[in-house]
């Protein structure tokens, strides 16, 4: 891997995690370069964050493709043109097919707003509330063909407080997302974490199914 890890970031919305990566690189905490930001939505306000940081951007409108696979084939080709070492899903609201996933196997990360393996899919904070959980959180994981089921790398917990609603929990979780996602990418850039035999391996040791537990 080159000295500076080349990242492509995929977004669909505001790009708050993209901003966390931009800021982490600027502080010298993440030794990487974001070489491209790609979105499926021209309305994604995260494009403005990328442009402010002089990062090349591309819009690939998924509604212009007849099938999900055709979109993913085009997306794959466009992302590959940047020669990324690592692809970051940062609020990219598309379920990706093997046409995209397989070429980037082991080089594709996502962050999910729950303590995986709990609550894959949507409405994670409300589901945690409904279950009476005392904690919520976020998990960085390798992306595989199982939705939100790829091996966990790094996980952070936040308390669920009396009287919390889903929106309050979401705001608290987003703060820890912005810390742990660049950290996991730095581990990848340092070649400390890899996907091996469907397990996340950190410093040569397989991680548990919750990943490494982040501590402030």
Write the CB contacts of 153 (distance below 8 Å, at least 6 apart in sequence).
Answer: 109, 139, 140, 141, 142, 184, 187, 193, 200, 202, 207, 211, 212
The residue whose two tokens read 């940047």 is 82
Q: Do residues 184 and 153 touch, judged by C-beta distance below 8 A?
A: yes
Write the pLDDT tens digit of every residue in 99-123.
Answer: 999 999 999 999 999 999 999 999 9
Q: Do residues 90 and 7 touch, judged by C-beta distance below 8 A?
A: no
Phi, psi of 152 (to 5 degrees): -75, 145
Which residue is catalytic, options 112, 123, 125, 178? 112
Taking alpha carbons only, the member of 121, 107, 119, 122 closest to residue 153 is: 107
Write the CB contacts of 86 (distance below 8 Å, at least 6 apart in sequence).
Answer: 5, 6, 7, 8, 32, 107, 108, 109, 185, 188, 189
Domain of residue 49, residue span = 5-213
Write the pLDDT tens digit of every residue in 146-196.
Answer: 989 999 999 999 999 999 999 999 999 999 999 999 999 999 999 999 999
The tokens describing 165, both together, are 């609603």
User: What pLDDT score was predicted for residue 103?
Assistant: 98
Has 112 been annotated as catalytic? yes
The secondary structure of residue 135, as a DSSP letter, is E
User: What pLDDT score was predicted for residue 3?
Assistant: 78
State the total domains in the chain.
Answer: 1
pLDDT band, residue 129 (cuts 50/70/90): very high
Q: Tell me the C-alpha distance between 173 and 195, whole Å.
A: 25
Q: Do residues 79 and 71 touch, judged by C-beta distance below 8 A?
A: no
Q: Do residues 143 and 122 touch, judged by C-beta distance below 8 A?
A: no
Query: Strand 212-213 and strand 57-59: pairing?
Result: unpaired
Residue 1 has pLDDT above 70, yes or no: no
Taking alpha carbons only, the member of 59, 170, 189 closest to residue 119 is: 170
User: What pLDDT score was predicted for residue 2?
Assistant: 52
Q: Do residues 7 and 85 touch, judged by C-beta distance below 8 A?
A: yes
Write the pLDDT tens digit of every residue in 27-70.
Answer: 999 999 999 999 999 999 999 999 999 999 999 999 999 999 99
User: What pLDDT score was predicted for residue 216?
Assistant: 79
CATH (domain of 179): 3.40.50.170
């Amino acid at each position: 891997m080159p000295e500076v890890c080349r990242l492509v970031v995929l977004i669909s919305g505001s790009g708050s995690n993209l901003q966390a990566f931009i800021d982490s690189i600027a502080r010298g905490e993440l030794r990487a370069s974001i070489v491209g930001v790609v979105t499926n939505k021209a309305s994604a306000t995260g494009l403005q964050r990328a442009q402010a940081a002089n990062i090349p951007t591309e819009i690939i409108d998924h509604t212009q493709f007849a099938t999900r696979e055709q979109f993913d084939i085009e997306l794959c080709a466009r992302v590959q043109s940047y020669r990324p070492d690592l692809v970051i899903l940062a609020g990219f609201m598309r379920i990706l097919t093997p046409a995209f996933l397989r070429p980037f196997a082991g080089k594709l990360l996502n962050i999910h707003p729950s303590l995986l393996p709990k609550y894959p899919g949507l409405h994670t904070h409300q589901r945690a509330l409904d279950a009476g959980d005392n904690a919520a959180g976020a998990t960085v994981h390798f992306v595989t063909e199982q939705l939100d089921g790829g091996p966990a790398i790094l996980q952070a917990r936040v308390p669920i407080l009396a009287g919390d609603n889903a929106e309050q929990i979401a705001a608290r979780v987003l703060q820890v997302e912005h810390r742990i996602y660049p950290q996991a990418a730095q581990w990848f850039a340092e070649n400390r974490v890899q996907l091996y035999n469907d397990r996340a391996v950190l410093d040569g040791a397989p991680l548990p199914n919750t990943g490494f537990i982040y501590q402030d």
